[in-house]
Structure 1
């Protein structure tokens, strides 16, 4: 994830803590995405009205239907009542490395699908001992690697181990992953890593792990290969060290035999007041099989940088840090015309409002996208778990979190990989019907 922000909104009774954006990559900054509250009003039950809610027609909900689960390049994705709303979860199979997914395998549920980060991170307690004991330490010059992964309001600290990973019919035979809270790492996280709170358990993260499937093939790249960068890779003693690309925590899709050039996250639409659950499909590969076509779909195609960022214009302001991130449970964006609760920065308009944003795309050259924002307090009162119209005020970026994904097929073309419809990655694309 680019960042994780846990927004505590006790006054609203909200359990809608937001989780988004990526860490552990030298390719991106690690600025926090927790909204800054500058209002000193002590009445935490009173929403802060900033400006006047501007008029805007409500956007029609996207209506694309997920691809059927069944073929070996597909996985079921579910949003249900976990500790956080809007968390798309999959079940993975972890095995002994180098055994083509056949030895000492364990099934691990509730792993977050995060298109804003790269590589698999699991908490140690979620890995059964029979499998964990077969995961070999990832070593450089004879020294086992540890990793610090920074997120917006916290960090993970753990070992780097080699594992076999099975995702439906796809196999990453040997892939470096981060094991958070591995007892083999007795050294505390270095001080430069301890930014925000420690995320060391499943309850801290809200999941058993994070499956990073964004546009980068690894979580750092050449910068970590040529220099020992703090807040990235370490020896077990806590000393920064270089990490060759092959030893870095790796986007497992790049290691598949065939469907290795990207992924498509497809979520079914939900009601405007939310739904108790939501279903979707994770499809591996782009233009490699009949069920993952991009070519000929008339999808909106957007070239991105290595972090998946592109440019948009919202309310006349250029937003250079715009991205699609399934690991964010809400839409994070700056709009002072929508009423928001000052204690949490959740938008709480009296009635649902519609907004539009212009995306700087590749094909077509630009596109206007509509979306809606409802009252977060009202949504939470429904006790639903999946919402397509919930947002949080934040400056400096436009983060299309999971609300954007409902009713869409969202494509991620991995950097250095090509497809017929997308060309050379990195790129993102989407269809809404």
Structure 2
């Protein structure tokens, strides 16, 4: 979680500002999404609603996540994070009361994420490798489950009008981010601390060059290929927005009630990262009994997993004890070249 400062657009983050705490740092999504109730009314009233280019109606968007879907309006706002400012950023306002049309049926996947209680946070800061959440496809025409008018009709949106990763709009340190998390105990920890660093190879504290980091080129969604138990997982990604590691392994006992992997004793596993530099990197990890871990009363775990097919989601447990880099698409760094890419080193 981070705190985001939201302000009237075009004021260089100085007008009608409000600090919004407890915003999820999500390295597998793109753009800032805030629950409407978390935005002070005096600030929200100054945020410019984006209009559909064809009909002139207010713009709406549906965002799909593993835990459900978020339906809301699109507004422009100035966004400030630790002194770095992005002006007139398109953001999604989830649960905006002015949006009276229900989410289109194709968007209603899983449960609705409307309130802070639904989300478990005041919003989501998507800082993955893409500068926006759809790209040229949504500019060329309507794409199902993305942009709509407030009447629920699918529509095209120019790239610069799409929900945008604020980091990509900073005046400096705009080519990527590093999520640096301290290690936690193998039995879990009550809390965990880390640092979100802006820029890659732009300041003394964000070097990638010379770190001997393992680096993977990704697609626009941040996905790359790994091989696990002899099977290629083409949808592999590093995702701080997932509380556990999701991957398919029927050799590990699974608790039927919770879905957690629940081995009698902790097991070690390895995944081969394809196309990594250096090549054929073997990434090791542990999986402990999820039922026992969750009964401990702790909140941060480096060895918690759930069975899921057709993907390998290195969720939050992967991040503890590592610095994980995300190079934004189309932007370059000395150590990573031109994004998109991800990289990591042990801290």
Instruction: Give the TM-score band, short-chain normalised.
Output: over 0.9
- Is 1:411 the equivalent of 2:332? no
C-alpha displacement at 1:362, in angstroms? Answer: 3.4
- Is 1:102 the equivalent of 2:14? yes
State whether residues 95 and 131 of structure 1, in contact with CA within 8 Å, keep that contact through their aligned partners in structure 2: yes
Q: Give the match for residue 302 of structure 1.
A: 216
The one-character-per-residue Cα deviations of 1:55-105 (angstroms, maximum 9, x if unpaired) are xxxxxxxxxxxxxxxxxxxxxxxxxxxxxxxxxx11111111111110110
- Is 1:253 the equivalent of 2:141? no
State whether residues 300 and 361 of structure 1, in contact with CA within 8 Å, keep that contact through their aligned partners in structure 2: no
Query: How many correspondences in the alignment?
Result: 345
Partners of 2:132 and 2:169 in 1: CA distance: 11
Partners of 2:206 and 2:63 in 1: CA distance: 31
Pick one of 118, 125, 129 that aligns with 2:30.
118
Partners of 2:288 and 2:79 in 1: CA distance: 39
Query: Where do residues 372-387 of structure 1 align in structure 2 (5 Å cutoff)?
Result: 372-387=286-301
C-alpha displacement at 1:419, in angstroms? Answer: 0.4
> Runs of 4 or more off by more than 3 Å in structure 1?
none
- Is 1:353 the equivalent of 2:267? yes
Partners of 2:160 and 2:180 in 1: CA distance: 30
Q: Give the match for residue 340 of structure 2.
A: 426
State whether residues 153 and 195 of structure 1, in contact with CA within 8 Å, keep that contact through their aligned partners in structure 2: no
Q: Root-mean-square deviation (CA), in Å?
A: 1.0
Partners of 2:77 and 2:160 in 1: CA distance: 13
C-alpha displacement at 1:153, in angstroms? Answer: 4.6
- Is 1:312 the equivalent of 2:226? yes
In the alignment, structure 1 segments of 5+ residues that lack a partner are: 1-88
Partners of 1:364 and 1:200 in 2: CA distance: 43
SS of residue in 2 equivalent to 1:220: coil
Pick one of 195, 202, 208 that aligns with 1:281.
195
Higher relative contact order (CA 8 A, sep 6+): 1
Pick one of 126, 143, 151 that aligns with 1:212.
126
C-alpha displacement at 1:204, in angstroms? Answer: 0.9
State whether residues 255 and 291 of structure 2, in contact with CA within 8 Å, keep that contact through their aligned partners in structure 1: no
State whether residues 139 and 247 of structure 1, in contact with CA within 8 Å, keep that contact through their aligned partners in structure 2: no
The one-character-per-residue Cα deviations of 1:324-363 (angstroms, maximum 9, x if unpaired) are 0000000001111111112322011111111111111331
Partners of 1:209 and 1:153 in 2: CA distance: 14
- Is 1:397 the equivalent of 2:292? no
In the alignment, structure 2 segments of 5+ residues that lack a partner are: none
